[in-house]
Amino acid sequence: MRLNSVIENVLIDDIKSLEFDLILVSSGYEERASFLISNYRFNSKNKLALSFKNYGDIKERLKNDGIFLKNGYKLIQSHGDDDSVILSVLENLNFRGKNGLNILIDYSSMTRVWYSAILNYFRWLEVDNNIVIDIYFSYSLAKFSPPPTDHIPNRHIGPIKGFYSIALPLKPTALIIGLGYEKIRAFGLTEFLDSETLVFLTDSSQGDFTNAVRKENYELLKIVDPENIFNYSFDNIVQLHHVLFSLCEKLTEKFRIIIAPCGPKPFTLISLLNSILLKDIDIWRISPGSRGLPENRIPTGKTVVVKTKFLV
Amino acid sequence: MNEYKTLFDSFNARNLTLRQVAQGFVNYKKFDELLVNRNSLLMGPRGCGKTTLLKMLTIEALLEYQKINNSTLIYDLPFISIYIPTDVQWKMEVDLFKKEFSKYSEFIELVPNVLVNTNVFIQTIKTFVSLIDTIPSDEVNSNIKLFIDDLKRIWHLPDSTPSSLYAIEQEFYNRLDSVNVLINKTRNRRVEIITYEYPDYYYQEFLEPLRGACKAFEQYFGNSNSLVIRSKTRPIKWALCFDELELAPTWLQTKLFKFFRSKDQDFIFKLTSIPILEFTSKEHLPSTGSDFSPILLWLYTNRHEKEWEEFCKTLIISKLRKKFDQEIDPENLLGNSEYERFLRIEHSLYNDLKIGDLSNQKSILVDQFSQLAKKDSSFAEYLVGKGIDLLKPISADRLEDSEIHRKIKSIVYYRNFYLSSNDKGKGSRRRTRKIKSPFVYGWENICKIADGNPRLIIGIIDQIILNVNNLNQLPEVFIKFQSELLFQISKRYLNLWSTHPDANIDVVSSVISLKSFILSIGNYFQSSILNGSFTPSPTGTFVVNDKVNHKYLDLIVLGIHLGAFILLDPAENISPDGVLNKKFRLSFVLYPYFLLPIRKEEKSNVLSRIISSNIEVINKQVKLDL
Amino acid sequence: MEELKIAVVSDLHCNHSRSEGGIDTWLLSDNMRRPVHQHPVQSLIDLIKKDELKVDLLICPGDISNRTDPQGLITGWSFLEELKVSFYASHLIATLGNHDVDSRGIHNKYDFLNMPRNLKDNFPFEFPLERKSFIADSFCIIDLGEILIFNFNSVHSHTNKLSAEESIISDDILENIKNELGYIKKEYKYKIAITHHHPIKHSNVGFKYKDKDSIEKGDKLIDILIEFNFQIFIHGHKHEPKLTIYNGLPIFASGSISSHMNIMETNSKNNFHIVELAPSESRGIIRSWDYTYGVGWSPSTSKIKSEIGFGAKAGVKDYSKMILDHFIFHKLERMNNVDFIETFPDFKFFPPIDKDKLFIELQANFEIVQEYSSGLIKEIIKTT
Average pLDDT rounded to a whole number, residues B271-281: 84
Contact C294 A239 (CB under 8 A): no
Residues of A with CB under 8 A from a CB of C: 5-6, 198, 226-230, 236, 239, 242-243, 245-247, 249-251, 253
Cα C117 from Cα C268, distance rounded (Å):
33
Q: What is the pLDDT of residue B351?
A: 53
Range scoring the smallest mean pLDDT among A106-120, B79-93, B477-491: B477-491
Residues 6+ apart with CB under 8 A from A52: A26, A27, A28, A29, A61, A78, A79, A80
B509 touches chain A (CB under 8 A): no
Quote the pLDDT of residue B470: 64
* pLDDT for C248 beyond 70: yes
Residue of C nearest to B163 (CA): C381
What pLDDT shows up at residue B216?
97
- Is B176–A166 a contact, with Cβ atoms under 8 angstroms apart? yes
Q: Say which residues have a Cβ less than 8 Å from residue B255's Cβ, sequence separation at least 6.
A: B205
Average pLDDT over residues C320-341: 94
CB C198 within 8 A of CB C216: no
B222: closest CA among B236, B210, B237?
Answer: B236
Whole-number mean pLDDT of chain B? Answer: 84
Closest to C325 (Cα-Cα) out of C343, C351, C345: C343
Residue B391 is predicted with a pLDDT of: 56
Give the one of A6, A227, A236 whose C-beta lies nearest to C36's C-beta: A227
Examine the pLDDT at C127 and tell me if it is beyond 70: yes
pLDDT surpasses 60 at B359? no
If one compares B354 and B286, the residue with the highest pLDDT of the two is B286
The pLDDT value given to residue C164: 82
Q: How many alpha carbons lie under 13 Å from residue B162 in its C-beta half-sphere?
A: 22
Query: Higher pLDDT residue, B403 or C147?
Result: C147
Give the Cα separation of B342 and B351 in Å (integer): 14
- pLDDT tens string C67-87: 999 999 999 999 999 999 999
**How much is the pLDDT for B473?**
67
**Between B and C, how many CB-CB pairs are < 8 A?**
32
Which residues of chain A are modeled with pLDDT < 50? none
Alpha-carbon Rg of chain C, whole angstroms? 21
End-to-end CA gap in chain B: 18
The answer to whether C376 contacts chain B (CB < 8 Å) is no
Pairing verdict, β C284-292 and C296-299: antiparallel
Q: Which of B195-199, B239-243, B399-403 has the lowest mean pLDDT?
A: B399-403
Closest C-alpha among C288, C277, C201 to residue C237: C201
Amino acid (one-letter) located at A33: A
Residue (of B445, B585, B569, B597) closest to B521 by Cα position? B585
Residue range C342-364: mean pLDDT, rounded = 95
Q: How high is the pLDDT of residue B620?
A: 67
Chain C residue with Cα closest to B138: C332
Whether C334 has its CB under 8 Å from any CB of chain B: the answer is yes
What pLDDT band is residue B400 in, cutting at 50, 70 and 90? low
Q: B162: which chain C residues are within 8 Å (Cβ-Cβ)?
A: 367-369, 379, 381
Whether cis (ω within 30° of 0) applies to the bond prior to B570 is no
Region B168-180 average pLDDT: 96
Which chains, if any, share at least 3 CB pairs under 8 A with chain B?
Answer: A, C
* Residue B580 to residue A105: CA distance in whole angstroms: 55
User: What pLDDT, on the 0 to 100 scale, is given for residue C1?
Assistant: 52
* Partner chains of C (3+ C-beta pairs under 8 Å): A, B
Q: Nearest C-alpha of chain A: how many angstroms from B365?
A: 44
User: Which range among A43-47, A138-142, B268-272, B283-287 shows the weakest confidence by mean pLDDT?
Assistant: B283-287
pLDDT at B428 over 90: no
Q: Is A163 exposed, middle or buried (0-12, 13-18, 19+ CB in 10 A)?
A: buried
> What are the residue ranges of helices labelled H in B386-507?
396-401, 403-418, 442-450, 454-467, 475-498
pLDDT, residue A154, reads 65
- Rounded to an integer, the average pLDDT of B248-275 is 91
pLDDT score, position B504: 83
Residues of B in contact with C362 (CB under 8 A): none
The fraction of chain B above a pLDDT of 90, given in percent, is 43
Per-residue pLDDT band for B373 (boundaries 50, 70, 90) equals confident
* pLDDT value of residue B6: 36
Indicate yes or no: CB of C293 within 8 angstroms of CB of A228: no
pLDDT tens column, B213-234: 999 999 999 999 999 999 999 9
A-interface mutation test, from C38, C46, C264, most A Cβ less than 10 A away:
C264
Residues 6 or more apart in contact with residue C175 via CB below 8 angstroms: none
CA–CA separation, B237 vs A36, rounded Å? 70
- Closest to C241 (Cα-Cα) out of C4, C8, C5: C8
CA distance B418 to B529: 11
Predicted confidence (pLDDT) at residue B468 exceeds the cutoff of 80: no
Contact state of A193 with B88 under an 8 Å Cβ cutoff: yes
On whether the CB atoms of residues A291 and A137 are closer than 8 A, the answer is: no
Radius of gyration of chain B (CA): 29
What separation in angstroms does the CA of B481 have from each of A213, B316, B528, B578, C327? 33, 18, 29, 41, 69
Q: Which of A6, A204, A255 to mutate to test the interface with C (most CBs of C within 10 A)?
A: A6
Q: Which residues of C touch B159 (CB under 8 A)?
A: none
> What distance in Å separates residue C333's CA from the closest CA in chain B?
7
Q: How far apart are CA C82 and CA A105, in angstroms?
A: 48
The span from the CA of B530 to the CA of B420, in Å, is: 11
Least CB–CB distance from A243: residue in C36, C294, C298: C294
pLDDT of C354 strictly over 50: yes
Rounded distance between C-alpha atoms, residue B109 and residue B202, angstroms: 10
Distance of residue A162 Cα from the nearest chain C Cα, in angstroms = 25
Question: B513 pairs with which residues across the strands?
Answer: B504
Candidates B141, B142, B170; nearest CB to C372: B170
How far, in Å, are B79, B128, B141, C240, C363 from residue C380 at the CA level? 32, 19, 12, 31, 10
Q: Using an 8 Å CB-CB cutoff, list chain C residues near B164.
A: 334, 367, 369, 378-379, 381
* Rounded distance between C-alpha atoms, residue B100 and residue C35, angstroms: 41
Q: How confident is the model at residue B397 (pLDDT cuts 50, 70, 90)?
A: low
Q: Considering CB atoms only, which of B141, B162, B173 is closest to C369?
A: B162
The CA-based dihedral angle spanning residues B155, B161, B166, B169, taken in that order and rounded to the nearest 10 degrees: -40
What pLDDT is attached to residue A148?
79
Residue of chain A nearest C33, judged by CA positions: A227
Q: Which of C360, C358, C365, C361 is nearest to C381 (CA)?
A: C365
Nearest CA to A138 among A55, A2, A40, A232? A40
CA distance B281 to B391: 63
Q: Which of A55, A120, A56 is CA-nearest to residue A84?
A: A120
Across the interface, do A250 and C298 touch by the CB < 8 Å criterion? Answer: yes
pLDDT tens per residue across span C46-66: 999 999 999 999 999 999 999
pLDDT of residue A151: 65
Which of B90, B499, B506 would best serve as a mutation to test chain A binding (most A beta carbons within 10 A)?
Answer: B499
Is B350's pLDDT higher than 60? no
Average pLDDT, chain C: 92
Q: What is the pLDDT of residue B621?
A: 60
Is the minimum CB–CB distance between B500 and chain A shorter than 8 Å?
A: yes
- Most B CBs within 10 A among A113, A122, A170, hence the mutation to make, goes to A170
Greater pLDDT, B395 or B202: B202
Chain A positions in Cβ-Cβ contact with residue C269 (cut-off 8 Å): 246
B444 closest CA partner among B564, B306, B565: B306
**Residue A157 contacts residue A286 (beta carbons within 8 Å):** yes
The pLDDT tens digits of the residues spanning C132-159 come to 999 999 999 999 999 999 999 999 888 8
pLDDT of residue B401: 56
Q: Residue B406: pLDDT band by 50, 70, 90 thresholds?
A: low
Instruction: Give the containing element (helix H, strand E) for A190.
Output: helix A186-193
Query: Is the predicted pLDDT of residue C221 greater than 60, yes or no?
Result: yes
- Which pLDDT score, from 0 to 100, does residue C314 have? 93
* pLDDT greater at residue C178 or residue B298: C178
Question: Which residues of C are less than 8 Å from B163 in CB distance?
Answer: 334, 367, 381
Nearest to B18 by CA among B58, B49, B50, B48: B58
